[in-house]
Amino acid sequence: MEILPGIGVGVGGEAVRIGDARDAVERVTGPSDAGALARKVAYGPPTNLVVHYAPDRTVEAVAVGYGEGDEATYDGVHLTGRFLDDVLADLAARGLTSTPSDIGRDFHAGFSVFSMSSAYGADLGLTDGGDDERLVSEGVHVAPYATFAQPA
């Protein structure tokens, strides 16, 4: 799935966009098991999306996690399921600027790339085992950059 920085995520020729109503999202993703008033809703494979809703049931942010199903890409860069340092180097080579976060990098274009330190290169077939402790990019969060700069 191609991310649309600061806007949303492309899904099968359509998109889940910030500001979309939940009904519009579920026409693209299919229904969720989450209750109608849930603010954070996970949609399973093939999308692996986690959509954060505002109180008015419109999209505030969209996250794409690594796992079964589609992976996140941007401008030809595979963003998930790779070593985080490699992803960051590819994005920097495209001129994208970012600031550090506690789990990855927040890009001024309107997305973050992160690792929760729960996936390892050997688990993903990136190494042949051993003591490789490099972080794996496990997800991408799409929202306006100002969202990331806010205190938690």
Single pTM value for the model:
0.90
State what percent of residues in the chain have pLDDT above 90: 66
Average pLDDT in the 12-29 region? 94
In a domain, 46, yes or no: no
Structure token digits, residue 31? 């229904």
Residue 93, domain member (yes or no):
yes
**What is the per-residue pLDDT across 109-140, written as a single tens digit (0 to 9) for each?**
999 999 998 887 877 777 766 677 889 999 99
Do residues 79 and 110 touch, judged by C-beta distance below 8 A? no
Q: Distance of CA 16 to CAs 23, 28, 110, 144, 147, Å?
A: 11, 7, 15, 14, 17
Strand, coil or helix: what is 119?
Answer: coil
pLDDT score at 71:
86
114 inside domain:
yes
Contacts of 110 (CB under 8 A, 6+ apart): 5, 6, 7, 142, 143, 144, 145
Q: pLDDT, tens digit, for every residue of 2-14?
A: 999 999 999 888 9
pLDDT of residue 129: 65
**CA–CA separation, 41 vs 127, rounded Å?**
33
Residue 131 belongs to some domain of the structure = yes
* Region 86-93 average pLDDT: 97
Q: How far is CA 33 from CA 30, 36, 45, 49, in A?
A: 10, 9, 13, 13
In a domain, 39, yes or no: no
Quote the domain boundaries for residue 95: 80-140
**In this structure, is residue 75 part of a structural domain?**
no
State the total domains in the chain. 1
